Amino acid sequence: MELDPVLIGRWQFGITTVYHFWMVPLTLGLGMLVAILQTIYHRTGNEVYLRSTKFFGKLFLINFIMGVATGLVQEFQFGMAWSEYSRFVGDVFGAPLALEALLAFFLESTFIGLWVFGWGRLHRAVHLGALWCAVIGSWISAYFIIVANSWMQHPVGVELVDGRPVMTDVWAVLGNNTAIAAYTHTLFGALAVGGSFLLGISWYHLYHRRKDGIDTVGADGKVIVGSTPELPGRDATDHTVWIKSLRIGAIVGIIAFAGVSITGDVQAKLMFEQQPMKMASAEAACHDGTEFSVLTIADPASNDCDGVQNIFEIPGLLSFLANGDFDTPVHGVTTLLPEYQEHYGTHIPDDPRYGEHAGEPIDYQPIMIVTYWGFRMMIGFGALAAGVCAIGLWLSRKGTVPQSKWLSRGFVLAITAPFIANSAGWIFTEMGRQPFVVAPNPAQLDGVFMYTQAALSPEVTPAMLLFSLISLTLVYGVLMVVELRLLTTYVKGGVASAMPDLAAPKSKPTITDDGDDVLSFAY
């Protein structure tokens, strides 16, 4: 069997990157929320917020390390598997990666260590500042990596010299409108993840407090908070921790959805202009029109426009999404194809660097089923997450949650919704960019674009790519199970899992002969 190295390489990159981006939004979103919780504690001295900081901080760290470990792969694999790509774009694409390391990763990694080990050791304000530095570091890193990605979607700030793009304007690269839209969109997407995480876990604990008979409800439906000393940490304050966290999570989730909607709209309007084929493909819009497809079916095996059937469409909506009015037709795939062929050619150049793909006809149309459903899953699961937040806010209005096992399971399961939305959005935008690894900028026909087929390392064989694909997928799979089990264990332990004192009150730290205290935290 003949294996296409480009295809294996893309699977390898896709799997490792989507996996990495399960950890990242939780790091970005939950990190910000933990920093806010600790700030409230710092300002009010209210123990509720100390507990929520410690508890969610612990979960944050269990996830954070996986983001660090899988992020290393990202920094290396451009050069390893995509050396032609790296050579082609290095002058402009390497800079944001190096800036990310210099300006973000050092900050994040150094201060996270200070925060973890700094409880009771650093001055309170310095300790809080350390967390903020780490969180801001992670947010800066998101900016630079999205600048890099956005340059692949919409190259700016370069000119072609000897066949390679050379950076001429770093501010254009950093201020790329594609990057600003994608960055804000990603951050709100991450906050949605953080919000749903707080909501689902707090719901679970409030439900179990009721199930275990700790909290009850009065005749008016209002909560009567109880306390059960034999269960670790199950005092009255514990209830406040969960109800406050639930409400903060739900409100953040709703605000985040408003944020992703607005930034997503900006992004879509840019994309209609910058990558019209991607958007046409996302809408399964074969022909010019104004209608937004709510449901379109097609023969999944073929990727051509003949088999597409639009079942239900809303007239005018697509034009509104693209242009802000209801009657300007949006170009469909059949209109765009000849334009692409005219500007970028009909066949891959007969150049040895394209290997077996040299001279092949170019298919400018992304895989429609992926873009169409990726786009809809992103929106659908994003909306679902926000809907769950709104319902959660309403159902918990009397101070606790209904004593329903299925509702509790549902809210825990709903934590996955914004994760799915995030993954679907990225899969849509990356698959929708094909057949380009660097999509052309239609505003300047300067020859700055690259086909994915040309990007792979020439001497890297399918077997090597498979070795990496299989070994990393296996390790990632095992680590996923380990991470989820650890998260589950710590969630079930409640706040006491992050605060030993709650589990075994008044355990005195031993003082050694030389007067050194026992570390307040140790691995």
Partner 1 sequence: MEILATIWFVLIVVLWIGYMFLDGFDLGVGMMMPFLSRSERGRRVLLNSIGPVWDGNEVWLITAAGAMFAAFPHWYASLFSALYIPLTLCLLGLIFRAVSIEYRGKGHTQAWKSFWTWAMAVGSAVTAFCIGAMLAMTTTGLPLNGHGDIVGGPFAWVSWPALLGGLGGIGFTLVHGLVFLGLKTQGEIRARAQRWAARAMLPAAIPFVIWFALSVTHRTWLIVPVLIGLITLITAFFAVRAGAEKRAFVLHGIYLLTGLGSVFAGAYPNVLPSTLDAANSLTVATASSSDYTLTVMLIVTVVILPVIIGYQIFSYRMFLGRIAETHIPEAHKVPVAIRS
In 189-254, DSSP assigns E strands to 216-217, 223-224
Which of 46, 83, 303, 341 binds partner 1 (CB under 8 A)? It is 83
Among 2, 342, 350, 516, binds partner 1 (CB under 8 A): 516
Binding of residue 162 to partner 1 (CB under 8 A) = no
User: Using the rule CB under 8 A, is 211 a contact of partner 1?
Assistant: yes
Q: Considering only 33-41, 243-251, 334-342, 509-517, which stretch makes contact with partner 1 by CB under 8 A?
A: 509-517
Residue pointed to by tokens 């903060």: 248
- The answer to whether 212 contacts partner 1 (rule: CB under 8 A) is yes
Binding mask 180-209 for partner 1 (x = CB under 8 A): -------------------------x--x-
3-state class (DSSP) for residue 176: coil
Residue of the chain from 43, 121, 222, 397 that contacts partner 1 (CB under 8 A): 121
What's the half-sphere exposure (Cβ side, CA atoms, 13 Å) at 491? 20
Give the closest residue to 439 by CA, choosing from 431, 447, 449, 454: 449
Asked if 136 touches partner 1 (CB under 8 A), the answer is no
The residue (of 241 and 389) whose beta carbon lies closer to partner 1 is 241
CB 359 within 8 A of CB 348: yes
Q: Which of 14, 94, 129, 307 binds partner 1 (CB under 8 A)?
A: 94
Instruction: Please identify which residue in 120, 160, 489, 505 interacts with partner 1, judged by CB under 8 A.
Output: 489
* Cis preceding-peptide flag for 440 (omega within 30 of 0): no
Residue 479 interacts with partner 1 (CB under 8 A)?
A: yes
String of b and e for 308-324 (b: at least 16 CB within 10 Å)? bebeebeebbbbbbbbe
Member of 117, 119, 320, 344 binding partner 1 (CB under 8 A): 117
Query: Strand 164-167 to strand 223-224: parallel, antiparallel, or no bridges (unpaired)?
Result: unpaired
Q: With CB under 8 A as the contact rule, which of the stretches 336-344, 367-375, 390-398, 461-469 interacts with partner 1?
A: 461-469
Q: CA 432, CA 276: separation in Å to the nearest integer?
A: 10
49, 105, 203, 242: which one binds partner 1 (CB under 8 A): 105
Using the rule CB under 8 A, is 466 a contact of partner 1? no
Among the listed residues 6, 49, 84, 150, the single contact to partner 1 using CB under 8 A: 84
Rule CB under 8 A: is residue 76 a binding residue for partner 1? yes
- Of 77 and 281, the one with the shorter C-beta distance to partner 1 is 77
To the nearest 10 degrees (0 to 180), the angle between helices 368-395 and 416-431 is 160
CA distance 56 to 274: 40
Least separation, in Å, of the C-beta of 177 and partner 1? 20
Concatenate the DSSP letters of all residues of 71-97 into one string.
Answer: HHHHHHHHHHH-HHHHHHHHHHHHHHH
